[in-house]
Every structure is written in C-alpha cells, then in structure tokens.
A and B are shown apart, each in its own frame.
Chain A
Amino acid sequence: MKRMNRRDFLKRSLGTLAGVALGTGLDLPEAFAQRRPVKQGPIKIGGQAILSGPLGGYGNFMKMGAQLAVEEINTKGGIAGSQTEIEFRDEELKPDVAVKNARYFVDNWGADFLIGCDASSVGLAVGQVMPELNKVLIITHAATEKINEDLVYKKGIKQVFRISVPVYQDGIAAAIIAKDFPVKRWAAISPDYEYGYTTWKMFRETLKKFRPDVEFIAEAWAKFGTVDFGPHIGAVMPKEPEGIFTTEWGGEAITLIKQAKLFGVFDKAKAWMNPMGAAMDVLEGLGAEYPLGLWISCRYWFLYPDTRENRAFVQRFQKRWNRYPHYVSETGYSAVYAIKTAVEKAGTLETSEVIKALEGLSLDTPAGKRVFRREDHQAIYEVPWGQTAEDKKYPFRILRPLKVIPANDYYRQPPFA
C-alpha cells in the first residue's frame, strides 16, 4: 500500500465528503483525488469475440457493451487516472485463432487485460495460456463449467475470471424450475457438441433427484449450423414427449422454434425449456412469432433486476446504440467495470495484485450484485427464468412471470467432486 501524506488524505476526505454530499460515492471524477495514474499512457483492454458468420451478432453486441463502458469511464477520468483503450479481434470460434489473438494482444499490442471469449473451447484454450501471458482474463460468455472448476479451481490458473453465468443456469437451474411441471416424459433437441451434452446431463441428473418419476425418452442432436430441424423434430415427436428441453441458441434457436411450430410441437408438448431463449437476438428475431408460455432464460435479461442502476444502464445503452442490450452487452460492459474497480482497489496494474483485488470482489452491475467467488473466480449472480408473454410496450416477447432461483441453490460449489 502506498503511504498517504497529509495532503492526499485531505483531498480524499474532501472527495469523500463531496461524494456523500452529492448522495453518491460513485461516479466521482478521478481528477478530484489527483492520484498518480497507475500507468503512463492508456490502459489497454484486448477483447475477442465471434465477429463473423451467422453468430457474428454476438461479437458485435459484446463490443457495444464493452465500448460503452470504456467511453463512460474515459469521460469520467479513466481507470485510476489513466485513459482506457479497447480493441476487438474476431475469435472465429476457433481455439487456435483465439490463442493467437491473446498472444498478439499481450505481446504486440501491449494489452493490460483481456476480456471476451464466446465459445467454450475458446475460453478453455485461452485460459490455458494465461499463466504464461500473465494478464487477467475476464470471460464474458463461454459457459463451460470446466473453466471455473478445472482451469481455475483444480489447475490453479488464477488469471482467469468469469463474469457470466456458467452452464449451471442452463442445466441445473432449468431442472429446479422443471421439477414443478406436470411433465413426466422429457426429450431433448440440442446442439451436437459439448454444450448440448453437458446441459442435458445436468438437467437430467438434477431433475431425477427431485423427481424420480420422470423419464428421458428421446434425444436428437443437431450439428452446429443446422438450418433444418425437421429430421430432429421428426425423430423426437413419435415418442410423445410432454416436455422438450433445448439449448439451441442464436439463429438456430429461432429456426427451431419456427419449424417446431409448423410441425405442431407446441400443440403436443406441455412444456418447452430453452436457457438461451431469452437472449435478445432470439426475442427480437422471433418477435410475435414466439409462442406464449415457453420457459426461457439467458445470462442477463434487460428488464431484470428492476433497479435504478439497471434501468439507467438500459437507457444509456439505448441512447448510444439504438437497441436493447443483449446479455453479452451487459457482461462485456460489466467486465470493463470489474477491471476498473479492481485496478483502483489494487492501486497498481501488477497482475497478482489485481487478482487479489478481484477475488471476493463484490460489484454492483446492471445485472445486480455480482461476487467473484474466491475459489474458482466465478461471478455469482442471479438471472431469472420466465415464461414468454406478450407486452404491448415491446415488439417482442417478455418474461412473465419470472422465477428467480438463488444462485447458491444451483451453482455447483467447490470442491467440485
């Protein structure tokens, strides 16, 4: 810790007083405190996300969130007195490309922090090189539990944090919701890669604990980039499932819903669950074509929590980008603020100090209070599940009623057996 001289102390006290007088301790211009910047020149954040192809929207939306945060921070004096710069590269959903990006950012561009990673495989690959690059990486989307359970907790890679919910939301929380449904026969139509398998397994295992009477009668796996779910619907429906669980996302979630409607799935099945169904791209894409009463969730939904902070964020986001924030916009935004908070707490850019500052850090974000769990660096926060409902104020479905399960009831806890 730096020793404070009397003048510094006075200034800080004055600053705090002024802050209290203004009714907020936040948003105080840094210049007020006149601390020495932690870095000569700008603090650099290297972001990567999927920016091309059918899922390219995700990268764009994340970029919007992160950029908004950087702009806000810079107009208010930067991070600990230093201006902040952010640059994005396309991860292409390919681990090798992503590792190259990470190396470029740290070795050539001079990044102080890394954020992003959409694909789970990308998050794992970049995570594995972080001890060598020795910068803090905040993952904003990649959801595999292997990141917090294996990389951070078991292998002890301390440089990796994750601000977005892991697959616990998709599989375990879904099952806790589904246990109250009058549904005994479940089927899955899900992605033919790890995310699809893991979430279905978590869903089945959790649900079976609460409801020994349920059966899992059919599954159909759709390869990445499926444009026609006819074969999958055709394979599952003859088994007469009462509930359908799917973790299709993006354009595939939209296509699946559209085709499921035409194949009469919603007339036959009583329940439909999609943990990615409340993502803004799916809500907006389907608009009024989204059937009512489906159970959906995501990793942040713009109307939850109903707090002043969240409403203000949505408003600022709309003003800047002329659209509602996607969940990756919020996680990108909050990742940048997490960096700011940690650096200012640590008073240095030294990686080990920033890690210490982030561990256990409690952060007020648009998505609500987030705490980075010390053991596995996973941000703990709550995201609601809800049913698709109509609301005249929006040209798309909203979630109503909401069902919020306390994070500690469904996040797996260390030591992960």
Chain B
Amino acid sequence: MVETLIFQGLIGLSLAMYIWLVAAGLTLVFGVLGVLNFAHGSLYMLGAYLTETCTALLGGNFWLGLLLATIIVAVLGVGLECFFFRPMYRLPLAYQLLMTFAFVLIFDDLVKMVWGPVYRVPPTPKGLEGSLSILGRAFPVYNVFIIGLGPLVALLLWLILEKTSWGKMIRASASSREMASAIGINIKMLFTTVFAFGAWLAALGGGLSIPIRAVSPGMGTFIIIEAFVVVVIGGLGSLKGAFIGAVLIGLLEAYGTLFLPVFEMFFIFFLMAVVLIVQPGGLFGTQVSHEEA
C-alpha cells in the first residue's frame, strides 16, 4: 500500500508540474498587466503544434524545435499585446475577457486550417524515452524529467524577479502601476515584455507536453481551466501560490482517482471553494487591487 501511495504521489507531482508551467505565465501576466488571459491556453496549444513542426523542420532535434517554437510564440505575444491588449486596458474587464475568448476561437480554427483536424502524436525526445523501474513499477522517464524541470523553472522565475532589474520593475509595477511610471519605468515596454514572457511560458508548457500527450485542436481549453483553478487557489498574481496550488491540485487528482474514482473532481472544486471562503484572495494572494483606469 505504501508503495502505491508513493507511486501515486509521483504521478501527482508530474501532473502538478505540467499545470504549473501553464499557471505560471497566466498568473504573472495577471499580476502585472491585470489581464485574465483566456487565450493563454491557445498559446499553450500553439507552442505544442509549433514545437512538433519546428522539431520536424530541424531534423528531429526536439530541444531546438522547442526553443524556436517558444520564441515564435513569444514574438506573437509581443504582437498581441501591442495591437490588441494595449487598447483594452482602459476598458472594463468584460471587454478583455471577450477579446481573449475571441482569440481562443480564432486560434482553434487557425490550427485546424494549418495542421488539419487530426490528432498528432509526436515522438519522445532522445534520451527520455521509455520508463524506469520505481518501486517495482514502470514510471515514464519523461515524467521524471518534468518533475525535475518544474522546480527549476520556479527557481529561474524567482531569480529573474528578485535579482534582475527587469524583475524589480515588474514587482514595482505590479504593486503600483502609477508609482512605477512616476519613477520613470517604461510601463508600455514592461507590459509588452511581460506578456511576451508569459506567452513564452505557455508555449514552453505546450511544447513540453507533446512527448506524452496527444496534440489536438482545442487542447488548450481543458488545460486553461485547470490552470485557472490553480491560480485562483494560489492567489491571483502570486507565482509562489501558483506553484503550491499546482502541487496541491496534482496530488489531489492523483489520490482522488486512487481512493474515490468517481469524485476526484469534487475535491478540487471543494478545495477551491474552501480557499475562497477562508481566504478570498487565494492562499498567497495579497488582496489584489488594480487601479483600473
């Protein structure tokens, strides 16, 4: 039984790390720009498709393909922010939501037009294929890699936010947009770069998912819901919250499926409800107040 518990815990952790990669960008963009980007899941999907295509174009090198794909999506993020999101900051939240939702539909159809309505199953990158034996049972090597990578990305984000001047600007403008702009931070530039970075993270999550999940149009829809739950539980705008929220949700899903197979979703939404009642801002949320113009 103990073996089963530990094994299921590992499965939960790998699940958590996939969610974390998506939630990180979502919460970062919200924390700084105040935009709840539904289309974040679409960027995840584009990252997955482009990684597959770029990998094939680059002679099967998954890592180069992933790098190129995430850069393309980040550049797309720059375009999205400059031309579509920027005029929206002044408008009520509902307009932003509508627009990001429109992008969900547009990207879904675009993907269908370019790659067709079929499922694709890209190969696993070299060196990470197959499985290794843990507690006498097979566990995918790739999931071990993801369990290791998730905290590394978290560390990287922490270093960027705490130790770089760009990170300081991000934190300054997240706590007060007006003050930040008064002391000479170029808010426009900052918003664009943060959005692009968020898009890059989404694409990274998508690209890293393809060796183990089917690639399909609309694949971002399901992942974005989970990421939202995680971000709400962790506290909107809090990276630490998103990481811990992802681990909680991943473990809950894994153990829920083990013990109460029909009700595993119940726990997740129950947790969200409890968190929202006890701590409306989320586990690590400062009561987010954005001075909407």
Contact = CB atoms under 8 A, between A and B. Distances in A.
Interface of A: 52-57, 60-61, 192, 219-221, 223, 225-228, 230-232, 234-235, 237-238, 250-252, 254-255, 258-259, 262-264, 267, 281-282, 284-287, 289
A237 B143 contact: no
A258 B214 contact: yes
A1 to B, nearest CB: 45
Interface residues of B, number: 46
B189 interface: no
B124 to A, nearest CB: 8
Contacts of A219: 261
B219 interface: yes
B138 A262 contact: yes
Contact of A264 (B3, B14, B138, B216): B138
Given A223-B265, A235-B261, A255 B213 contact: yes
B9 to A, nearest CB: 9
A339 B256 CA distance: 48
17 contacts: A54-B216, A57-B119, A57-B217, A192-B265, A219-B261, A226-B222, A227-B219, A231-B12, A255-B214, A258-B121, A258-B214, A262-B131, A262-B143, A264-B137, A282-B119, A285-B118, A285-B119
B201 to A, nearest CB: 18
Contacts of B130: 262
Contacts of B120: 285
A254 B121 contact: yes
A231 B11 contact: yes
Contacts of B52: none
Nearest to A265: B138
7 nearest A-B residue pairs (beta carbon): A264-B138, A285-B119, A262-B140, A53-B218, A57-B117, A225-B222, A231-B257
A220 B257 contact: yes
Given A54-B216, A225-B221, A234-B8, 6 more contacts: A220-B261, A235-B257, A262-B140, A262-B143, A262-B212, A285-B120
Contacts of B142: 262
B257 to A, nearest CB: 4
B114 interface: no
B290 interface: no
Contacts of A61: 117
Nearest to A255: B214
Given A56-B112, A263-B138, A230 B254 contact: yes
Contacts of A56: 108, 112, 117, 217-218
Given A225-B221, A228-B213, A235-B261, A281 B119 contact: yes
Interface in B193-225: 209, 212-214, 216-219, 221-223
Contact of B139 (A60, A263, A267): A263
